Amino acid sequence: MISVIIPSYNSETTIEKCLDSLQNQSYQDKYEIILVDSSQDRTAKTVSEYFPNVKLIHLDEKTDPGSARNIGIREARGDLIAFIDSDCVAGQDWLERIAVAHQSSYKVVGGSVSQHSDRDGLAARAGYISEFREFIPQRPKGEVTHIAACNISYKRRTFDEYGLFNREYYPQEDLIYNTNLVTGGEKILFDPEIGVHHHTRSTMKDFLQHQKMIGMITARVLKVAPLEGSSIVRRPTLALFLLPVLPLVKFFRTLRVFLKFQPETIVKHPLVLPVFAVGLIFWAFGFARGIYGANEVKDKTRIEHSA
């Protein structure tokens, strides 16, 4: 049995398409859908009225995705735990491909993330190329060190062995978790055929605020995780000199990936690049705050996972 867990906050504009895609899967075996929702809008009412087979867990206070996923894991009955976000639409064979992939020895399997609509605005496009360059459908199948939590699945016993997500690292609690798995000797399989379509933030304000938050949390993650760039954040003086360069590095790395694997994203919409560049400036401000701010993670010897 597969348990599909969806964290949700104010998802009334996207939740119907998400759940429709999950209830119309080609997968023939049993699966359950668990929505952990802390919305203040009509999300819970919509689910109750139109999706009675979905297990709805409604929380009174706004809850971060990592904590919501942890609640879902505790309620799940499946041997496989699959995660998708409330602003994603799953391919019709999503669960079927996940089940087949998990017949292997891999404990962690995930897939690609596509831009939801070709009509999305520049802020949404910039958000997509900022966050999902490692998971575009044109990338080859193979072992990776991380897959985004909007399209990833785990054998249930993984959580028994490694614990749950750590809310302290939102919105990169999935990166911390997967890094801990890889450090522990686990392997992660990326299969681009396991696909979801993702709605990204559509306003410039939301895009920039999110980039700033990602920058801050990235710095905090690098203080405790053995990832590229950790040597920079652990040397604040060195970071001071490199900070102006880091957005340029990210810009050209991302541009190279899309020109190689998905050039139409750039060629058809060249104005996305200056918007992306502005986002990187906000990312750099957040990154600096993560390095020099007072809110630091003290335990640098081991990445802990808490509920």
* Tens-digit pLDDT profile for residues 16-39: 999 999 999 999 999 999 999 999
SS3 of 211, please?
helix
In order of 48, 220, 282, 284, 285, the CA distances from 213 in angstroms are: 33, 11, 9, 10, 9
**Are 31 and 20 part of one and the same domain?**
yes
Tell me which of 181, 202, 223 is where a domain ends: 202
Scan for tokens 């990326």, then name that residue: 190
- What's the whole-number mean pLDDT along residues 288-296? 78
In a domain, 307, yes or no: no
Distances (CA, A) of 141 to 1, 189, 196: 25, 8, 15
Question: Domain for residue 79, yes or no?
Answer: yes
**pLDDT digit string, tens, across residues 94-148:** 999 999 999 999 999 999 999 876 667 899 999 999 999 999 999 999 999 999 9
Q: pLDDT tens digit string along 254-283?
A: 999 999 999 999 999 999 999 999 999 999
182 to 108, 156, 252: CA distances (angstroms):
10, 17, 27
Neighbour-count burial of 102, counting CB atoms closer than 10 A to its CB (0-12 exposed, 13-18 middle, 19+ buried): buried
Q: Residue length, the chain? A: 307
Backbone dihedral region of 142: left (phi > 0), alpha (psi from -120 to 50 degrees) or beta?
left
Of 28, 1, 39, which is closest to residue 15 (Cα–Cα)? 39
Q: Give the single-character DSSP code of 233.
A: H
Task: Give the rounded distance of the alpha carbon of 90 from its chain centre.
Answer: 14
pTM above 0.75, yes or no: yes
Do 116 and 167 lie in a common domain? yes
Structure tokens at 291: 């390095």
Mean pLDDT of the chain: 92
Does residue 299 carry a pLDDT above 60? no
Is 196 domain-assigned?
yes
- Whether residues 21 and 104 share a domain: the answer is yes
C-alpha dihedral (240, 245, 251, 256), degrees to nearest 10 = -130
Q: What are 58-70's pLDDT values in tens digits? A: 999 999 999 999 9
The CATH number of residue 110's host domain is 3.90.550.10
Any domain includes 298: no
pLDDT for the residue numbered 201: 72
Q: Give the domain range for residue 216.
A: 205-292
* Whether residue 123 is found in the same domain as residue 210: no
Q: Is residue 304 a part of any domain in this protein? A: no
pLDDT grade for 78, boundaries at 50, 70 and 90: very high
- One-letter identity of residue 22: L
Q: Which amino acid is at 6?
A: I
CB 90 within 8 A of CB 25: yes
Q: Verify that 110 and 212 share a domain, yes or no.
A: no
Residue 69 and residue 173 in one domain: yes
**Based on the domain organization, do 25 and 107 belong to the same domain?**
yes
In this structure, is residue 34 part of a structural domain?
yes
Residues 228 and 191 in one domain: no
Within this chain, do residues 197 and 221 fall inside the same structural domain, yes or no? no
Q: Is residue 286 in some structural domain?
A: yes
Tell whether 216 and 234 lie within a shared domain. yes
In a domain, 297, yes or no: no
Choose one of 149, 169, 202: the last residue of a domain: 202
My answer on whether 116 and 172 are in the same domain is yes
Q: Which of 202, 228, 251 is the last residue of a domain?
A: 202
- Cα gap 164→156, rounded to integer Å: 11
Q: Which pLDDT score is estimated for 120? A: 74
Q: What percent of the chain has pLDDT over 70?
A: 94
Question: What does the pLDDT read at residue 294?
Answer: 57
Give the pLDDT score at 118.
62
Q: Is the pLDDT at 303 greater than 80, yes or no?
A: no
Tell me if 154 sits within 8 A of 76, measured CB to CB.
Answer: no
DSSP reduced 3-state for 230 = helix
Q: Are 222 and 281 found together in one domain?
A: yes
pLDDT in tens, 206-222: 999 999 999 999 999 99
Contact 73, 174 (CB under 8 A): no
How many structural domains does the chain have? 2
Work out the angle between the directed axes of helices 15-23 and 43-50 (0-180°, nearest 10). Answer: 30
Pairing state of beta strands 31-37 and 188-198? Answer: unpaired
